[in-house]
Amino acid sequence: MTKIKGPAIFLAQYVSDDPPFNTLESLAKWVSDCGFKGIQIPSWDARLFDLKTAAESQLYCDEIKGALTGYGISITELSTHLQGQLIAVHPAYDLMYDSFAPADLQNNPKSRQEWAVNQLHLAAKASHNLGLSNHATFSGALAWPYFYPWPQRPEGLVEMAFDELASRWLPILNAFDEVGVNLCFEIHPGEDLHDGITFEMFLERVDNHARCHMLYDPSHYLLQCLDYLQHIDIYHERIKMFHVKDAEFNSTGRQGVYGGYQSWLDRAGRFRSLGDGQIDFKSIFSKLTQYNFEGWAVLEWECCLKHPEEGAKEGAAFIKEHIINVTDKAFDDFAGAGIDQATNRRLLGID
């Protein structure tokens, strides 16, 4: 069995213009002091990271890794969640997603998508230059506005959406394959890949691509009332990344999974700091260990109540406590008989 690596932290929720959250090196010191060993870097934030330079310069990547090593910190993965979202945007969301692209590309969906595709190609090269095995992203969504079939969806609408989604991502998957990096889609509401079935629909259309994998985040499954433990049993061979994020779902006579348009604070389903929600992380870590998950346990902090800095410090300790130090022996070895093949044949009554 393989021991899960960690604890690590996704930096997206922590970056700001205020020290120590405004540079990669100062953040590295801070997360190290919190007890983390790894960081997942949001590639879109120029305060931390220059994606284009990383794709073109091995020296730049080596310098970053060297600086982080001084704080005992490794890069776990790069993330292109925001850029990946722009690979496929339904027109209903054009204005809301425009801010994910540079200002000169806003209000121009075609140019925005072309930029996003280029960003993913750069991310493949940058990940390779950093010596990384996996990369995190979103799939984007064309069919999401039609997830609830009322009025009845026109025949073939969903199939067409997934055909188009696959055609946009297949060249990107090939680019990641060329550099030996897995592309891991976070399975997430708001994306066309939001559960196991939709991932399977996409995977079939990209010909079961060897680089098409999952980022597993149980919080998004709890809020869908999906069995997040059985999900590991089904898809463990495709799960290459793990966001450790907690959540709770408390339905009432007034609201359920759709949340009644309420704020995160007032929704039946909401994200919580690690240990404050309902997710069974002991079972998750056990299952991932059972299936030899080789990646990092990465805290993604999102909570509508607790301060993020407190959430980070508690989260590092929480993850550390849940990582299983795997055994190298069977618990009943003391009773082993050490019998040879001849004796086994006698025990079975075989002449």
Question: How does pLDDT run across 51-94, given as a tens digit for each residue?
Answer: 999 999 999 999 999 999 999 999 999 999 999 999 999 999 99
In terms of DSSP bridges, do strands 182-186 and 134-137 run parallel, antiparallel, or are they unpaired? parallel
Q: Which residue has the tokens 């949340």?
A: 259
Instruction: Compute the distance between CA of residue 10 and CA of residue 50 in angstroms, rounded to an integer.
Output: 17
CA 283/CA 27 separation, integer angstroms:
31
Q: Are 153 and 200 in contact (CB under 8 A)?
A: no
Domain residue limits at 165: 5-348
| Structural domain count of the chain | 1
Give 327's pLDDT tier (boundaries 50, 70, 90): confident
Distance CA(199)–CA(205), nearest Å, equals: 10
What pLDDT, on the 0 to 100 scale, is given for residue 340? Answer: 85
pLDDT grade, residue 333 (50/70/90)? confident
pLDDT in tens, 4-28: 999 999 999 999 999 999 999 999 9
pLDDT for residue 334 is more than 70? no
User: Which pLDDT band holds residue 309 (cuts at 50, 70, 90)?
Assistant: very high
How much is the average pLDDT of 258-262?
A: 97
Q: Which residue has the tokens 């919190």?
A: 34
Report how far apart, in Å, the C-alpha atoms of 335 and of each of 57, 330, 340, 345 are. Answer: 57, 10, 15, 20
pLDDT at 6: 97
- pLDDT tops 80 at residue 303: yes
Token readout for 206 is 């990209």
Task: Name, in order, each residue with C-beta under 8 angstroms of 80's C-beta and a sequence gap of 6 or more.
Answer: 43, 44, 119, 120, 123, 135, 136, 137
Cis peptide before 20 (omega within 30 of 0): yes
Stretch 116-143: mean pLDDT: 98
Cβ–Cβ contacts within 10 Å for residue 349, how many? Answer: 6
What's the predicted TM-score (pTM) here? 0.95
Residue with tokens 């079961």: 208
Dihedral angle, C-alpha 204, 208, 209, 214, nearest 10 °: 80
Output the domain CATH number for residue 334.
3.20.20.150
Nearest to 84 by CA among 125, 127, 39, 43: 43
Q: What is the mean pLDDT of the chain?
A: 96
Indicate if the pLDDT at residue 339 is higher than 90. no
The β-bridge relationship of strands 239-244 and 5-10 is: unpaired
Measure the CA–CA gap between 266 and 258, rounded to whole angstroms: 12
Average pLDDT value for residue range 301-322: 98
